[in-house]
Homo-oligomer: A and B are copies of this chain.
Amino acid sequence: MSQATATLLISCPDQRGLVARIANFIDANGGNIVHADQHLDFEANRFLSRVEWQLDGFNLPRELIDPAFAAIARPLGATWQLHFSHPVPRIAIWVSKQDHCLLDLLWRHRAGELPAEIVAIVSNHPDLKPIADQFNIDYHHIAIAKDNKLEQEKAQLDLMAQYRVDLIVLAKYMQILSADHVNTFPPTINIHHSFLPAFPGAKPYHRAHKRGVKVIGATAHYVTADLDEGPIIEQDVSRVSHRDTVEDLIRKGKDLERIVLARAVRLHLQHRVLAYDNRTVVFA
Protein backbone atom coordinates (compact mmCIF):
# COMPACT_ATOMS: atom_id res chain seq x y z
CA MET A 1 0.00 0.00 0.00
CA SER A 2 2.88 2.35 -0.70
CA GLN A 3 0.87 3.97 -3.51
CA ALA A 4 -0.08 7.60 -3.11
CA THR A 5 -3.52 8.08 -1.59
CA ALA A 6 -5.78 10.94 -0.60
CA THR A 7 -7.77 10.93 2.62
CA LEU A 8 -10.87 12.89 3.52
CA LEU A 9 -11.93 13.37 7.13
CA ILE A 10 -15.49 14.69 7.17
CA SER A 11 -17.88 15.80 9.88
CA CYS A 12 -21.45 17.01 9.29
CA PRO A 13 -24.99 16.80 10.67
CA ASP A 14 -26.39 13.35 9.89
CA GLN A 15 -28.81 12.93 7.00
CA ARG A 16 -29.77 10.26 4.54
CA GLY A 17 -27.42 9.43 1.68
CA LEU A 18 -24.11 10.72 3.04
CA VAL A 19 -22.12 7.53 2.49
CA ALA A 20 -23.43 7.28 -1.06
CA ARG A 21 -22.70 10.91 -1.82
CA ILE A 22 -19.09 10.73 -0.68
CA ALA A 23 -18.45 7.38 -2.32
CA ASN A 24 -19.98 8.61 -5.56
CA PHE A 25 -17.76 11.66 -5.59
CA ILE A 26 -14.69 9.45 -5.49
CA ASP A 27 -16.06 6.81 -7.81
CA ALA A 28 -17.26 9.31 -10.39
CA ASN A 29 -13.74 10.70 -10.59
CA GLY A 30 -12.18 7.28 -11.02
CA GLY A 31 -10.84 6.77 -7.52
CA ASN A 32 -10.45 3.34 -5.93
CA ILE A 33 -11.41 3.47 -2.24
CA VAL A 34 -8.97 1.54 -0.04
CA HIS A 35 -10.48 2.48 3.30
CA ALA A 36 -13.91 3.83 4.19
CA ASP A 37 -15.18 4.04 7.70
CA GLN A 38 -17.89 6.11 9.24
CA HIS A 39 -19.37 6.76 12.63
CA LEU A 40 -22.70 8.15 13.75
CA ASP A 41 -22.79 10.08 16.98
CA PHE A 42 -26.51 9.61 17.64
CA GLU A 43 -26.65 12.01 20.55
CA ALA A 44 -25.01 14.81 18.59
CA ASN A 45 -26.75 13.70 15.36
CA ARG A 46 -23.35 13.96 13.73
CA PHE A 47 -21.93 11.92 10.85
CA LEU A 48 -18.15 11.43 10.89
CA SER A 49 -16.25 9.66 8.18
CA ARG A 50 -12.82 8.81 6.85
CA VAL A 51 -12.36 7.84 3.21
CA GLU A 52 -9.01 7.02 1.64
CA TRP A 53 -8.54 6.33 -2.07
CA GLN A 54 -5.74 5.74 -4.52
CA LEU A 55 -4.64 8.77 -6.49
CA ASP A 56 -3.43 6.59 -9.33
CA GLY A 57 -6.23 6.71 -11.90
CA PHE A 58 -8.03 9.54 -10.13
CA ASN A 59 -9.11 12.11 -12.69
CA LEU A 60 -8.98 15.25 -10.58
CA PRO A 61 -5.59 16.90 -10.10
CA ARG A 62 -4.66 17.33 -6.45
CA GLU A 63 -5.35 21.04 -6.33
CA LEU A 64 -8.89 20.60 -7.62
CA ILE A 65 -10.00 17.91 -5.19
CA ASP A 66 -10.74 20.28 -2.34
CA PRO A 67 -12.78 22.78 -4.37
CA ALA A 68 -14.62 19.95 -6.13
CA PHE A 69 -15.49 18.29 -2.83
CA ALA A 70 -16.52 21.63 -1.38
CA ALA A 71 -19.36 21.79 -3.89
CA ILE A 72 -20.77 18.64 -2.30
CA ALA A 73 -19.80 19.27 1.30
CA ARG A 74 -20.83 22.88 1.80
CA PRO A 75 -24.56 22.28 1.28
CA LEU A 76 -24.29 19.53 3.92
CA GLY A 77 -22.89 21.95 6.49
CA ALA A 78 -19.78 19.80 6.62
CA THR A 79 -16.29 20.56 7.82
CA TRP A 80 -13.55 18.47 6.26
CA GLN A 81 -9.83 17.98 5.94
CA LEU A 82 -8.10 16.70 2.83
CA HIS A 83 -4.74 14.99 3.29
CA PHE A 84 -2.30 13.34 0.93
CA SER A 85 -0.06 10.43 1.82
CA HIS A 86 2.81 12.22 0.08
CA PRO A 87 4.58 14.44 0.80
CA VAL A 88 4.55 13.25 4.38
CA PRO A 89 3.80 15.73 7.20
CA ARG A 90 6.64 17.72 8.77
CA ILE A 91 6.90 17.33 12.51
CA ALA A 92 8.79 19.08 15.28
CA ILE A 93 9.45 17.31 18.56
CA TRP A 94 9.57 19.42 21.72
CA VAL A 95 11.42 18.06 24.71
CA SER A 96 12.82 19.08 28.08
CA LYS A 97 15.40 16.78 29.70
CA GLN A 98 13.85 13.32 29.54
CA ASP A 99 14.83 11.35 26.46
CA HIS A 100 12.64 8.23 26.47
CA CYS A 101 9.81 9.55 24.28
CA LEU A 102 12.16 11.38 21.94
CA LEU A 103 14.36 8.35 21.37
CA ASP A 104 11.38 6.12 20.81
CA LEU A 105 9.98 8.43 18.15
CA LEU A 106 13.36 8.71 16.42
CA TRP A 107 13.75 4.92 16.34
CA ARG A 108 10.31 4.32 15.02
CA HIS A 109 10.86 6.97 12.42
CA ARG A 110 14.08 5.29 11.31
CA ALA A 111 12.29 1.92 11.29
CA GLY A 112 9.72 3.36 8.90
CA GLU A 113 6.84 3.30 11.39
CA LEU A 114 6.12 7.04 11.26
CA PRO A 115 5.20 8.47 7.83
CA ALA A 116 6.66 11.92 8.51
CA GLU A 117 9.74 14.07 8.23
CA ILE A 118 11.20 15.07 11.58
CA VAL A 119 12.47 18.57 10.81
CA ALA A 120 13.46 19.92 14.21
CA ILE A 121 13.82 19.23 17.89
CA VAL A 122 13.05 22.13 20.21
CA SER A 123 13.95 22.24 23.88
CA ASN A 124 14.11 24.59 26.82
CA HIS A 125 17.25 22.73 27.89
CA PRO A 126 20.48 21.86 26.06
CA ASP A 127 20.64 18.28 27.42
CA LEU A 128 19.32 16.29 24.48
CA LYS A 129 21.36 17.96 21.76
CA PRO A 130 23.70 14.95 21.41
CA ILE A 131 20.75 12.78 20.43
CA ALA A 132 19.64 15.28 17.82
CA ASP A 133 23.19 15.37 16.44
CA GLN A 134 23.34 11.62 16.27
CA PHE A 135 20.17 11.52 14.16
CA ASN A 136 21.21 14.60 12.14
CA ILE A 137 18.25 16.70 13.16
CA ASP A 138 18.36 20.43 13.90
CA TYR A 139 18.23 21.16 17.63
CA HIS A 140 17.02 24.49 18.92
CA HIS A 141 17.64 25.37 22.51
CA ILE A 142 15.15 28.06 23.49
CA ALA A 143 15.58 28.61 27.21
CA ILE A 144 12.45 29.75 28.97
CA ALA A 145 12.60 31.81 32.14
CA LYS A 146 9.90 33.70 34.00
CA ASP A 147 10.92 37.03 32.56
CA ASN A 148 11.27 36.00 28.91
CA LYS A 149 8.44 33.53 28.45
CA LEU A 150 6.40 35.61 26.03
CA GLU A 151 9.25 36.49 23.73
CA GLN A 152 10.62 32.95 23.76
CA GLU A 153 7.22 31.59 22.86
CA LYS A 154 7.25 33.99 19.97
CA ALA A 155 10.63 32.57 18.94
CA GLN A 156 9.23 29.03 19.12
CA LEU A 157 6.30 29.91 16.91
CA ASP A 158 8.51 31.67 14.40
CA LEU A 159 10.63 28.56 14.27
CA MET A 160 7.58 26.38 13.64
CA ALA A 161 6.53 28.66 10.80
CA GLN A 162 10.03 28.73 9.38
CA TYR A 163 10.19 24.92 9.32
CA ARG A 164 6.65 24.75 7.92
CA VAL A 165 5.71 22.34 10.70
CA ASP A 166 2.45 20.39 10.33
CA LEU A 167 2.49 18.73 13.73
CA ILE A 168 4.15 19.43 17.07
CA VAL A 169 4.80 16.48 19.35
CA LEU A 170 5.33 17.36 23.00
CA ALA A 171 7.57 14.46 24.00
CA LYS A 172 7.78 15.24 27.71
CA TYR A 173 8.00 18.99 27.20
CA MET A 174 7.56 20.13 30.76
CA GLN A 175 6.37 23.68 30.14
CA ILE A 176 2.81 24.92 30.09
CA LEU A 177 1.92 26.62 26.83
CA SER A 178 0.09 29.91 27.03
CA ALA A 179 -3.45 30.00 25.67
CA ASP A 180 -2.45 32.43 22.93
CA HIS A 181 0.28 30.09 21.98
CA VAL A 182 -2.07 27.15 21.70
CA ASN A 183 -4.43 28.99 19.40
CA THR A 184 -1.69 29.82 16.90
CA PHE A 185 -0.13 26.35 16.91
CA PRO A 186 -0.28 23.63 14.35
CA PRO A 187 -1.97 20.53 15.81
CA THR A 188 -0.04 19.48 18.91
CA ILE A 189 0.00 16.10 20.64
CA ASN A 190 0.96 15.76 24.29
CA ILE A 191 1.60 12.74 26.51
CA HIS A 192 0.95 12.61 30.21
CA HIS A 193 0.57 10.13 33.00
CA SER A 194 -2.89 8.98 34.10
CA PHE A 195 -4.01 7.41 37.31
CA LEU A 196 -7.11 5.93 38.90
CA PRO A 197 -7.90 8.08 40.83
CA ALA A 198 -6.20 11.12 39.34
CA PHE A 199 -3.32 12.84 41.09
CA PRO A 200 -3.22 16.35 39.67
CA GLY A 201 -0.30 18.59 40.55
CA ALA A 202 3.28 17.83 41.45
CA LYS A 203 4.92 14.42 41.90
CA PRO A 204 2.00 12.31 40.70
CA TYR A 205 3.99 9.05 40.73
CA HIS A 206 4.98 9.62 44.35
CA ARG A 207 1.39 10.23 45.29
CA ALA A 208 0.09 7.27 43.28
CA HIS A 209 2.67 5.10 45.03
CA LYS A 210 1.67 6.43 48.43
CA ARG A 211 -1.95 5.67 47.58
CA GLY A 212 -1.11 2.07 46.60
CA VAL A 213 -2.68 2.11 43.14
CA LYS A 214 -2.72 -1.20 41.29
CA VAL A 215 -2.79 0.29 37.80
CA ILE A 216 -0.94 3.20 36.19
CA GLY A 217 -1.68 4.72 32.80
CA ALA A 218 -0.70 7.20 30.13
CA THR A 219 -2.86 9.39 27.90
CA ALA A 220 -1.96 11.00 24.58
CA HIS A 221 -4.18 13.93 23.61
CA TYR A 222 -4.36 17.00 21.46
CA VAL A 223 -3.33 20.17 23.22
CA THR A 224 -6.04 22.73 23.81
CA ALA A 225 -6.14 25.83 25.95
CA ASP A 226 -7.42 23.67 28.78
CA LEU A 227 -4.27 21.95 30.01
CA ASP A 228 -4.27 18.14 29.83
CA GLU A 229 -7.96 18.25 28.95
CA GLY A 230 -7.82 18.12 25.17
CA PRO A 231 -9.33 15.35 23.01
CA ILE A 232 -7.92 11.95 23.97
CA ILE A 233 -6.29 10.02 21.13
CA GLU A 234 -4.93 6.98 22.93
CA GLN A 235 -4.60 5.54 26.43
CA ASP A 236 -3.06 2.47 27.95
CA VAL A 237 -2.25 1.07 31.39
CA SER A 238 0.14 -1.23 33.26
CA ARG A 239 -0.46 -3.24 36.40
CA VAL A 240 1.66 -2.40 39.42
CA SER A 241 1.80 -3.71 42.98
CA HIS A 242 3.09 -2.84 46.41
CA ARG A 243 6.40 -4.39 45.31
CA ASP A 244 6.91 -1.49 42.88
CA THR A 245 8.88 1.40 44.31
CA VAL A 246 8.30 4.96 43.13
CA GLU A 247 11.23 4.37 40.77
CA ASP A 248 9.53 1.28 39.36
CA LEU A 249 6.33 3.24 38.81
CA ILE A 250 8.26 5.95 36.99
CA ARG A 251 10.10 3.34 34.90
CA LYS A 252 6.86 1.57 33.95
CA GLY A 253 5.26 4.94 33.35
CA LYS A 254 8.03 5.83 30.89
CA ASP A 255 7.40 2.61 28.96
CA LEU A 256 3.71 3.45 28.79
CA GLU A 257 4.36 7.04 27.78
CA ARG A 258 6.59 6.20 24.87
CA ILE A 259 4.29 3.52 23.49
CA VAL A 260 1.09 5.51 23.90
CA LEU A 261 2.63 8.67 22.42
CA ALA A 262 4.07 6.75 19.46
CA ARG A 263 0.70 5.14 18.74
CA ALA A 264 -1.09 8.48 18.89
CA VAL A 265 1.43 10.18 16.61
CA ARG A 266 1.21 7.33 14.11
CA LEU A 267 -2.59 7.45 14.07
CA HIS A 268 -2.48 11.20 13.50
CA LEU A 269 0.09 10.90 10.72
CA GLN A 270 -2.11 8.34 8.98
CA HIS A 271 -4.98 10.87 9.21
CA ARG A 272 -7.03 8.44 11.27
CA VAL A 273 -8.01 10.84 14.06
CA LEU A 274 -10.95 13.21 13.79
CA ALA A 275 -11.42 15.53 16.76
CA TYR A 276 -14.76 17.19 17.50
CA ASP A 277 -16.46 18.48 20.66
CA ASN A 278 -13.33 17.83 22.73
CA ARG A 279 -13.32 14.14 21.84
CA THR A 280 -11.98 12.00 19.01
CA VAL A 281 -13.08 9.39 16.57
CA VAL A 282 -10.11 7.13 15.81
CA PHE A 283 -10.64 5.27 12.54
CA ALA A 284 -8.18 2.48 13.33
Contact = CB atoms under 8 A, between A and B. Distances in A.
Task: Name which of A134, A198, A284 has the most chain B CB atoms within 10 A of its CB.
Answer: A198
A253 B216 CA distance: 18
Nearest to A200: B197
Interface in A251-284: 251, 254-255, 259, 277-282, 284
Contacts of A107: 100, 103
Contacts of A111: 100, 254
A235 B212 CA distance: 11
B243 A231 contact: no
Contacts of A39: 242-243
Contacts of A236: 215
Q: Which 8 A-B pairs have the closest CB atoms?
A: A212-B279, A20-B23, A194-B196, A20-B27, A19-B23, A214-B235, A17-B27, A215-B235
A34 interface: yes
Identical chains bound together, number: 4
A111 B16 CA distance: 33
Secondary structure call for the A interface? mixed
Contacts of A232: 211-214
Given A20-B20, A24-B24, A235 B217 contact: no
Interface in A213-240: 213-215, 217, 219, 228-229, 231-237, 239
B215 A1 contact: no
Interface of A: 1, 16-20, 23-24, 26-27, 30-42, 100, 103, 107, 111, 113, 134, 194-198, 210-215, 217, 219, 228-229, 231-237, 239, 241-243, 245, 251, 254-255, 259, 277-282, 284
Contacts of A282: 214, 241-242
Given A19-B33, A213-B235, A242 B27 contact: no
A62 to B, nearest CB: 19
A242 B280 contact: yes
A212 B280 contact: yes
Contact of A32 (B16, B217, B234): B16
A56 to B, nearest CB: 11
A27 B32 contact: no
A27 B16 contact: yes
Given A194-B197, A196-B235, A198-B197, A215 B217 contact: yes
Contacts of A239: 239
B217 A231 contact: no
Nearest to A42: B1
A90 to B, nearest CB: 23
